[in-house]
Amino acid sequence: MTELICPAGTPAALRTAVDAGADAVYCGFQDATNARNFPGLNFTADELARGVSYARSRGTKVLLTINTYPPAGKVDLWRSAADVGAHVGVDAFIVADMGLADYVARAHPDIRLHLSVQAAASSPEAIRYYCKHFGVKRVVLPRILTIPEIRQIRREIHCEIETFIFGNHGLMVEGRCSLTNYLTGQSTNMDGVCSPASDVEYVQDEDGSMCSRLGGFTLDCIGAGEKAGYPTICKGRYIGSHRPEGYYAFEEPVSLNLSHLLPELIEAGVDALKIEGRQRSKSYVRTVVSAFRSALDDIRHGQTPNIADLVALTEGQKETRGAFETKRWR
C-alpha cells in the first residue's frame, strides 16, 4: 500500500499531520543535522520523544531527517542525532552522507535507513550501491526523473522508492547546491540553511512593489501585481545584457503538484509519496495532508481521486508537474 509521508516542523504540526491522515511524518532536530535548520523550527529530543509516542499510538510512523553532510572531522552532532533518534524509537533515519549511513547501519542495524533526496541518487547503480553497503531500505528520488524513468529504475533496484508529490520544486542537483554559500557563507548542505532568514531582507516600496535581498544582493523585484516566491537564488530574477527586462535564470517561483499523476506514480511502483514543507504552518499541513489522504483513499477504493485545489498554497501561486511529466517543463 502506498504510504503518505508528511512534513512536521513543530510538535503541533506533527500532531496535525498524524490527525490529518499521514502514514508517516518526517522531522528533524533544532540544529545543522537537517536541511530545514530554520529559526524557531524543529524538535528538541524531548519533543521528538513525545511526538513519536503520539504518532505511534495512532499507527503513524516517525522518520528522523538527518540529511545534511557533516563537515570533515565533525561527525559527533550527526551521530548523536541518530543515537537520540534510536533512543526515542523513531521508525527510520533519512540520511544523505555515506559516513553517517555507515555509522547508522552499524550502530542501529534494527532501524530502517532511508536515502535522502539530498544524496541525489538517481541511477540504479548508485541506489544499488547504497543498498548493498549500508542496507538502505528506501530511496527518495530527486525531482528530475520522468515517470517512465522511475518505472525503469523500479525494475532495476530492490529497495522501496519514495517521490515528492507536492511542495518545493527543487531542481538543483540536490545535496550539491552551493548557491547560498556564495552570498551568505552558510551552507545548505552542511548547515541546513538555504537562504538563512538572518540574511534575508524585504524592501517594500510605496508603489506596492517589493525587492527581496539575500546577503545584500537583490534576488528579485516583484511588481505590485505579481505573486511572490521564496527568497532563494535559484528562484531569483536577474538582469543581463541580453535580457535587460530581467528573467528567471534558473527556475521560476513555482511548486510541484502531482495530484493528477498519483495513479501513474503508483502504477510505476512508487512505494511512498512525500509532501514537502517542514517550514510551513499547521494550516498548510492540515490542508495538504488531508487532500492527498483523500485522493489516495479514493484510488485505493477504485474511485477517481478527488483532488482538492491547492494552488493557493503554492509558491508564486503557480504549480507544475515538472520533470515527472516532461523534461521540458519550462
Partner 1 sequence: MKHLNPDKAAIPRLPRAETITLMSCALVQPLLRRVVRQIATRHPNLFERLGSYRTIDYLIDPIDFPFALHLRPDPLEPLLRAVSRDVTPDAGATIRGRFLTLLRLLDSSEDGDAAFFSRDLEVSGDTEAIVRLRNALDDLDGSIAEEVANMFGPPGRAILGRLRQMYLRRHSAEKLAQA
Q: What is the dihedral of CA 18, 19, 23, 27, to 10 degrees?
A: -20
- Cell matching residue 212: 527581496
DSSP three-state, residue 140: strand
Question: 39 is written with which cell numbers?
Answer: 529559526
Rule CB under 8 A: is residue 58 a binding residue for partner 1?
A: no
Single out the segment in contact with partner 1 by CB under 8 A; choices: 63-71, 115-123, 182-190, 282-290: 282-290
In whole angstroms, give the CA distance from residue 256 to residue 282: 19
Between CA 50 and CA 64 the distance in angstroms is 14
Assess 256 for contact with partner 1 (CB under 8 A).
Answer: no
At its nearest, how many Å lie between partner 1 and the CB of residue 33?
Answer: 18
Task: Rule CB under 8 A: choose which of 57, 204, 241, 304 binds partner 1.
Answer: 204
Kindly tell me which residue out of 3, 6, 9, 305 binds partner 1, with binding defined by CB under 8 A: 9
Q: Which of residues 140-169 bind partner 1 (CB under 8 A)?
A: none
Which residue in the set 53, 283, 306, 326 belongs to the binding site for partner 1 (CB under 8 A)? 283
| 138 neighbors 160 (Cβ within 8 angstroms) | yes
Nearer to partner 1, 40 or 244 (CB): 40
Quote the CA–CA distance of 258 and 163 in Å, as a whole number: 10
Smallest separation, CB 279 to partner 1 (Å) = 7
**Of 107 and 197, which has the nearer Cβ to partner 1?**
197
Which residues share a beta bridge with 211?
Answer: 203, 221
| Contact status: 291 vs partner 1 (CB under 8 A) | no
> Binder to partner 1 among 31, 83, 149, 226 (CB under 8 A)?
226
Instruction: Spell out the alpha helix ranges (H) of the chain.
Output: 11-20, 45-57, 76-88, 98-107, 124-134, 147-156, 179-184, 262-267, 282-300, 322-325
Distance CA 115, CA 95 (A): 5
Determine, following the binding rule CB under 8 A, whether residue 116 of this chain makes contact with partner 1. Answer: no
Rule CB under 8 A: which of 23-52 touch partner 1? Answer: 38-41
Binding-site member from 4, 5, 13, 272 for partner 1 (CB under 8 A): 13
Classify the C-alpha dihedral 133-134-140-142 as positive or negative: negative
Comparison of 201 and 325: residue with beta carbon closer to partner 1: 201
Minimum Å gap between C-beta 315 and partner 1 is: 6
Give the sign of the dihedral formed by CA 136, CA 137, CA 143, CA 149.
positive
| Alpha carbons 134 and 120: distance in angstroms, whole number | 16
Choice between 8 and 101, CB closer to partner 1 = 8
Region binding partner 1 by CB under 8 A among candidate stretches 132-140, 221-229, 235-243, 294-302:
221-229
Is residue 216 a contact point for partner 1 (CB under 8 A)? no
Stretch that binds partner 1, among 66-74, 77-85, 96-104, 205-213 (CB under 8 A): 205-213
In three-state form (DSSP H/G/I as H, E/B as E, the rest C), the secondary structure along 62-83 is EEEEECCCCCCCCCHHHHHHHH
Q: Which residues bind partner 1 (CB under 8 A)?
A: 9-13, 15, 38-41, 196-198, 200-204, 206-210, 222-230, 253, 279-284, 287, 312-317
